[in-house]
Amino acid sequence: MAKTSTRKLPPGRLKIARALKTLLGKKDFNSITTAEIAKTAGVTEGLIYKYFNDKRDLLFKVLLELFEQFLLQMEKDLKGVEGALNKLRSIIQSTLFWYDQQRVFTRILLVEVRNSPDFFKSDAYQQCVRDYSKIIMDIIHEGIDLDEIRKDIKPSVIRQVIQGSVEHVCLPAIIFNREIAVETATEDLCCTIFFGIQR
């Protein structure tokens, strides 16, 4: 398993990653300079390019690391939950909670990486994003098999609706620095997605 361990990595690398995370709490990625990252990390600019292909690659690696933590937490939350719909609710809640707590992670994922074509070749996308989607897909299939979820909608559409809704609820909160009302948002979303909007 290609786990990104925190151990064994050189201190400079860790300091650089930590520096970017810190800076992303204050300003957007584009207006952060490599000089600034190096200074915050307490290393020289050149060292960044020892460990990362370029500035964006550093961003992807930071996202990867945070995403792995998120997936771990999500699967922990999922343990012991019975029923496909309950599992989907659990995922929605875990996601909203994590997005609210880990603002830097969410900002990277929802706004900073989308525009780099390279992102979709990165480990963060190829491993984590796809993993996340797959977990949801598996639950949907399970729900269909066990007659909890309608058979006449394409599972992929159900997944898109769930993921799209969650992201769209969080986006304004992330951009305008508002908090996410995790509990109520979870209920609102589940209520809407599970039962539909028609009277």
Partner DNA sequence: CATATTAAGTAAGTGTCACTCACCCATTTC
Partner DNA sequence: GAAATGGGTGAGTGACACTTACTTAATATG
In the bound state with DNA, the residue whose beta carbon lies nearer, of 55 and 103, is: 55
Which of DNA, a second copy, none does residue 72 bind to, with CB < 5 to 8 Å depending on kind?
none
State how far Cα 17 lies from the chain centre.
17
Tokens encoding 92: 């929605």
In the bound state with a second copy, the residue whose beta carbon lies nearer, of 11 and 25, is: 25
Query: What is the smallest separation between the CB atom of 92 and a second copy, expressed in angstroms?
Result: 12
In the bound state with DNA, the residue whose beta carbon lies nearer, of 16 and 189, is: 16
In the bound state with DNA, the residue whose beta carbon lies nearer, of 54 and 75, is: 54
d(CA 141, CA 31): 43
Based on the number of CB atoms within 10 Å of its own CB, is 108 exposed (0-12), middle (13-18) or buried (19 or more)?
buried
Query: Does position 134 bind a second copy by CB under 8 A?
Result: no
Which candidate, 169, 160, 110, places its Cα nearest to that of 140? Answer: 160
User: How is residue 26 annotated by DSSP?
Assistant: T
Rounded to 5°, the CA angle 31-34-36 comes to 75
Site string for a second copy, 140-179 (x = CB under 8 A): -------xxxxxxxx--xx-xx-xxxxxxx-----xx---
**Residues at the contact surface with DNA, assessed by CB under 7 A:** 10-13, 32-35, 43-47, 49-50, 54-56
